Structure 1
């Protein structure tokens, strides 16, 4: 009985105190109980707001956020200085490329992902392949490996970063307007899904086969190179015989005549360009070309194939693209050209874009990267 009275008294006191507190300090439901620190904008943030967010409605983020980052990879944040340079390059090499092609910022503003995340480290898949970039449902694009950015190598910029940007942007275009089903029929039975990174490692002697083909195709060039080698050998002899002296004069005369001949000179330039491209390709890239794919990754599935054709054509110099077609051989070249025709037609009819014009703009801007001040954070008034 006493215990019951004590409990009742305690409850009464608590209720009195509760209502007393409510009357003295009424709860303000308009205020959040979560307290956040106020953010301070630095000069880079202001530059991003003015040059990326305002004209394109794109939030380019360089501060890593765990809840927005894939937990699949072990990632490091992008360095501040590298982020500034990458932001300039995203604007100059990518966004403004489409501005120049379309005449306004509207194409990018309406289609490009609204969030671009910069990550400092590379991301690696379990099969050992490196992820250069990802796009999530047209909403967000992530660029990795920013801390290894080297603006002094413009060709590498497109290979490591901006081919990926154009690739992922191509996916968004395709998700908005589908490309013709005829594309997937060109090499329908040759797609290899996740095996793309090992499928094309063999045969290992393909580059030798291609070299022999190019030697036969460019007989004038190979004849000139043979004479150049002979001239080099003879001219280095300290005590040449009379026969060697005579032969040296003959070789020199023939080379002079060849260099005056436009056909020989043109053939040598073309052959040299193709051999240089071949030397830079690994055997998996060459085997993929011979099978009708512009890259090993293009063979994973037709959606990737489509945007690989688009992005690689845009970022390859014309002589490099032409060399790859020659390296592909007759079969591979015909398949790639059939794919290119559909990609080019799709972009022109659905988006009013010329693939050749986009390529020319990319190449022009790539050549001028070294002229850009990639550290400038000046906010220019309109």
Structure 2
């Protein structure tokens, strides 16, 4: 009986061992779950995907990611995907107020298609940074732009500041791509000193007295240059003139510095890109006003 029990136990242990060693088919951990970045682009059944394809991918070779993909954003920030009802309105603002003026001014879609970032990542919330500032958008290597705060978008006139904020960000980042392809004149950097990493401790009005169109312009010469472009385009002549009042009298140091930077921007666009900047400014401002409801 003892021998029989030993045999039975041996068989049981062998069975358990066989079951324990059975290999399961490995899980595919590289494919995101549906709805979290794993859904393929569907231009047939998904109206958002079709709009993006027709309005951005075909004319400008731009792709847009709006479904949550954690590896596309900072993993140490709390961020949420965009409200899908905001996607086409926000992208329409970019098309109408950013790309179309360049297309009209240059006479074709080629300029935007060549120099625009090819990948957009849309995020519903703002990105709050550790120094107390908020990131509205960021460019990576001239090929990708992340745009934050989509869930706050509105094209109503009473919310015009929100529309302006979004297109300002795109003009800012697009200008970075332009100067990364062809650098602006080196003497631009010597128009004003006082660049600082703690620009956020200065108000816009105070920055203008020092010769910077916005406080963020003080972050460095590159930021200064592209902020001049973004402000001139989105504010138009009227809004820009109002900002200049903060700089002081027409003979003040701040006023003269900002006007010198404006002249550098206008000349850069003319000599490098063959673009009449003031005509582009007029078209951009008209597009902004016309977009609001």
**Given the alignment, which residue of 272, 276, 285 partners 1:350?**
272
**Given the alignment, which residue of 46, 52, 56 partners 1:48?**
52
Checking the alignment, whether the CA contact within 8 Å between 2:155 and 2:291 is kept in structure 1 is: yes
CA distance in structure 2 between the aligned counterparts of 1:86 and 1:158, rounded to whole angstroms: 8
Checking the alignment, whether the CA contact within 8 Å between 1:158 and 1:315 is kept in structure 2 is: no
Checking the alignment, whether the CA contact within 8 Å between 2:118 and 2:143 is kept in structure 1 is: yes
Q: Does 1:319 align with 2:224?
A: no
SS at match of 2:231: helix
- Change in CA separation of 1:158 and 1:349 when aligned onto 2, cut-off 3 Å: farther
Tell me which moved more, 33-42 or 90-99: 33-42
CA distance in structure 2 between the aligned counterparts of 1:35 and 1:306, rounded to whole angstroms: 41
Unaligned runs of 5+ in 2: 1-27, 33-37
**C-alpha deviation, 1:354, in angstroms:** 1.9
Checking the alignment, whether the CA contact within 8 Å between 2:153 and 2:163 is kept in structure 1 is: no
CA distance in structure 2 between the aligned counterparts of 1:70 and 1:180, rounded to whole angstroms: 33
**C-alpha deviation, 1:73, in angstroms:** 1.8
Checking the alignment, whether the CA contact within 8 Å between 2:115 and 2:177 is kept in structure 1 is: yes
Match of 1:368 in 2: 290
More helix by share: 1
Q: CA RMSD in A?
A: 1.9
How many aligned positions are there?
254
Match of 1:341 in 2: 263
Tell me which moved more, 150-159 or 72-81: 150-159
**Where does 1:1-382 land on structure 2 (aligned, <5 Å)?**
39=40, 41=42, 42-153=46-157, 155-187=160-192, 189-192=193-196, 194-198=197-201, 200=202, 284-329=203-248, 330-370=252-292
SS at match of 2:242: helix
CA distance in structure 2 between the aligned counterparts of 1:357 and 1:318, rounded to whole angstroms: 11
Structure 1 segments of 4+ aligned residues over 6 angstroms from their partners: 32-38
**C-alpha deviation, 1:56, in angstroms:** 0.4
SS at match of 2:199: helix
TM-score, normalised with respect to structure 1: 0.63
Checking the alignment, whether the CA contact within 8 Å between 2:218 and 2:224 is kept in structure 1 is: yes
**C-alpha deviation, 1:143, in angstroms:** 0.6
CA distance in structure 1 between the aligned counterparts of 2:244 and 2:215, rounded to whole angstroms: 15
SS at match of 2:229: helix
Checking the alignment, whether the CA contact within 8 Å between 2:51 and 2:88 is kept in structure 1 is: no
CA distance in structure 1 between the aligned counterparts of 2:40 and 2:229, rounded to whole angstroms: 40
- Change in CA separation of 1:33 and 1:124 when aligned onto 2, cut-off 3 Å: closer
Structure possessing the higher radius of gyration over alpha carbons: 1
Deviations 1:210-252 (A, max 9, x none): xxxxxxxxxxxxxxxxxxxxxxxxxxxxxxxxxxxxxxxxxxx
Deviations 1:180-233 (A, max 9, x none): 00000111x3111x21001x2xxxxxxxxxxxxxxxxxxxxxxxxxxxxxxxxx
TM-score, normalised with respect to structure 2: 0.82
SS at match of 1:182: helix
SS at match of 1:141: strand
- Change in CA separation of 1:302 and 1:35 when aligned onto 2, cut-off 3 Å: closer
Checking the alignment, whether the CA contact within 8 Å between 2:155 and 2:163 is kept in structure 1 is: no
CA distance in structure 2 between the aligned counterparts of 1:138 and 1:292, rounded to whole angstroms: 28
**C-alpha deviation, 1:335, in angstroms:** 0.5
SS at match of 2:198: helix
Checking the alignment, whether the CA contact within 8 Å between 2:152 and 2:162 is kept in structure 1 is: no
